[in-house]
Amino acid sequence: MAQASEYIEFRRAFVWLLCGMLLPSVALVAFGVVAVANERVAVERRLAEDYESRLRSLEREIRGRLDHAADAVARGTTDPLVSAVTVLAPEAPPAGLEEAAKSAETLPIGSHLLASNDAQGVHRAWALVRAVGAVGERTLLAHLDTQALAAQVPLLGEARFPREHADFRLLPPREGGLAALKRIVAEAGNNTSTVVGRVAMGPPLEGFALVAELPGDDPAAALAFRNRSLYVGLLVLLYLGIGVGFGLTIREMRRAYKLSRLKTDFVANISHELRTPLTSVRLFAETLRDGRATTPEEVRECVELLSSESERLSKLVEKLLSWSRLESGQRMLRKETMQVPALLEEIAVAYRAQQLDATYDTVVEPGLPAVDVDREAMAQVVLNLLHNAVKYTGEVKRILLRARRAEKSVAIEVQDNGPGVRFKDRKRIFERFYRGDDLLSRQTEGTGLGLAICKKIVEAHGGRIEVDSKLGEGSTFRIVLPVVE
């Protein structure tokens, strides 16, 4: 039941995780897609807005340039923008300039007004300047050269915006048929720029447009592409992050779920392990109390069994305490420099004292360097491996304890001729509470804590523990310890 409810908890947490992460990220992606789709339009609009203020200021400058040309006419000097100056006959002004001629007459001497007219489809710009001549006041009609002005605009732009990438041009009004065709053909060869901003010019340049051009066929596309790539890159990064976070969370949740299952197994296991010797103790004690053991041999057998069962109990409790001390960090290692043969000798004494029904051989490579170990903790580790070797081998036990040099470390190995450890279990047997799922492990008493304790102790010494195993042939558990420099 407990397992089923934990599973439901796990699923619920998983669903929450899915909702909590996936829904906002789907919304984010939708937003990103819309933003990417609108990006080009947005870039074009931004470019046009950026250039409008610059174009307006350039337009004012052009206007100032025309005023400057008119002032030159008033002073009687020349200006490159003025192609011809005539005296305006007030009674017969050129077609389209009648109103302007009337207004000019009211102007004070030296001032001017700018005007334009269309003559046979050609746009002309004029400055009407009030001046004093030999025969009195008159209005001078100065023809403004728009082509010369157009030629000056890029230079004006460069001077005003020296660090600007764009070129500024003054485009004439749409020409009719042949002239337009000629210009298009002339520009077709070197047309590698695109208009990104445009403002219409005021009088006397009606119909003209001041434009900003950026090099390239489609600069907005390049900018939009860069921004899109950035969006897409960030989205990919975001998703990678979410994916990794998701994966890690799921892994942690699975671990927690597995651990809680292992703990449940452990409690069941440990209860069983405790109950068996306790039942035996109770039975043997009752046998003695009720006087059912009649002969001295029977009494001695009962007492011996009582002692061995209580020893089994205390070992089990000792293992549990050892684990909890390690887990809580209460167990401090008291390291000392030791020669390996001396350590193995101490282990041999402790092993013999336990009077197990199996022996082991020892092979020690001569001249091994010393190691820094907590002798009690390290003896506990090796004894644990020896016990496992005894526990998990059949009738004929061949157990070997070997110490040898392994590069810059010392390796202490316990080799047995047991059934071996299955490949899928080789890492997991060092996890707390984990027990092999094979028949032998199930039939053998244990808690799944022994190797986890070994691993913790060995790692606290700066070493590592590993297993080599061949199924059906045996296992070699290896402790690798750093040597004293």
Alpha helices (H) in 335-414, listed in sequence order:
340-353, 375-391
Q: Nearest distance from residue 427's CB to ligand ADP, in Å?
A: 11
Q: Nearest distance from residue 235's CB to ligand ADP, in Å?
A: 46
- Restricting to residues 264-283, name those near ligand ADP by CB under 6 A: none
Q: Nearest distance from residue 370's CB to ligand ADP, in Å?
A: 28
Q: Parallel, antiparallel, or unpaired for β 400-406 and 361-364?
A: parallel
One residue of 475, 478, 479, 481 binding ligand ADP per CB under 6 A? 475
Long-range CB pairs of 48-52, under 8 A, 24+ apart, other chains included: 48/196, 48/197, 48/198, 50/197, 51/166, 51/196, 51/197, 51/212, 52/197, 52/199
Q: Parallel, antiparallel, or unpaired for β 209-215 and 167-171?
A: antiparallel
Q: Nearest distance from residue 342's CB to ligand ADP, in Å?
A: 25
The residue with its CB nearest to ligand ADP is 436
The first and second tokens of residue 55, run together, are 């174009």
Listed ranges 287-295, 304-312, 365-373, 428-436: which one lies at the site for ligand ADP (CB under 6 A) = 428-436
- For ligand ADP, the closer of residues 223 and 385 by Cβ is 385
Listed ranges 170-178, 244-252, 405-413, 429-437: which one lies at the site for ligand ADP (CB under 6 A) = 429-437
In DSSP terms, which residues pair with 112 in a beta bridge?
Answer: 129
Amino acid 174 reads: R
Contact present, 335 and 377 (Cβ < 8 Å): no
- For ligand ADP, the closer of residues 198 and 428 by Cβ is 428
- Restricting to residues 431-470, name those near ligand ADP by CB under 6 A: 435-436, 441, 446-452
Rounded Cα distance between 371 and 334, Å, is 13
- For ligand ADP, the closer of residues 276 and 287 by Cβ is 276
Long-range CB pairs of 290-298, under 8 A, 24+ apart, other chains included: none
What is the CB neighbour count within 10 angstroms for residue 455? 21
In the chain, how many H helices and how many E strands? 10, 14
- For ligand ADP, the closer of residues 138 and 397 by Cβ is 397
Contact present, 278 and 35 (Cβ < 8 Å): no
- For ligand ADP, the closer of residues 34 and 440 by Cβ is 440
- Restricting to residues 371-390, name those near ligand ADP by CB under 6 A: 388-389
Please choose, from the candidates 130, 90, 128, 86, the residue with its C-alpha nearest in 3D space to the C-alpha of residue 108: 130
- For ligand ADP, the closer of residues 306 and 453 by Cβ is 453
What secondary structure does DSSP assign to 84-127, as a single string? Answer: EEEE--TTSPPTT-HHHHHHHHTSPTT-EEEEEEEETTEEEEEE
Total interface residues for ligand ADP by CB under 6 A: 18
Q: Nearest distance from residue 262's CB to ligand ADP, in Å?
A: 11
- For ligand ADP, the closer of residues 260 and 417 by Cβ is 417
- For ligand ADP, the closer of residues 275 and 300 by Cβ is 275
The answer to whether 157 contacts ligand ADP (rule: CB under 6 A) is no
Q: Nearest distance from residue 473's CB to ligand ADP, in Å?
A: 11
- Cα distances (Å, whole numbers) of residue 344 to 151, 331, 383, 412: 100, 22, 10, 9
Rounded Cα distance between 395 and 135, Å, is 142
Q: Nearest distance from residue 481's CB to ligand ADP, in Å?
A: 19
Alpha helices (H) in 290-359, listed in sequence order:
296-328, 340-353
- For ligand ADP, the closer of residues 194 and 388 by Cβ is 388
- Restricting to residues 397-426, name those near ligand ADP by CB under 6 A: 416, 418, 421
Q: Nearest distance from residue 238's CB to ligand ADP, in Å?
A: 43
The site for ligand ADP (CB under 6 A) is made up of 388-389, 392, 416, 418, 421, 429, 435-436, 441, 446-452, 475
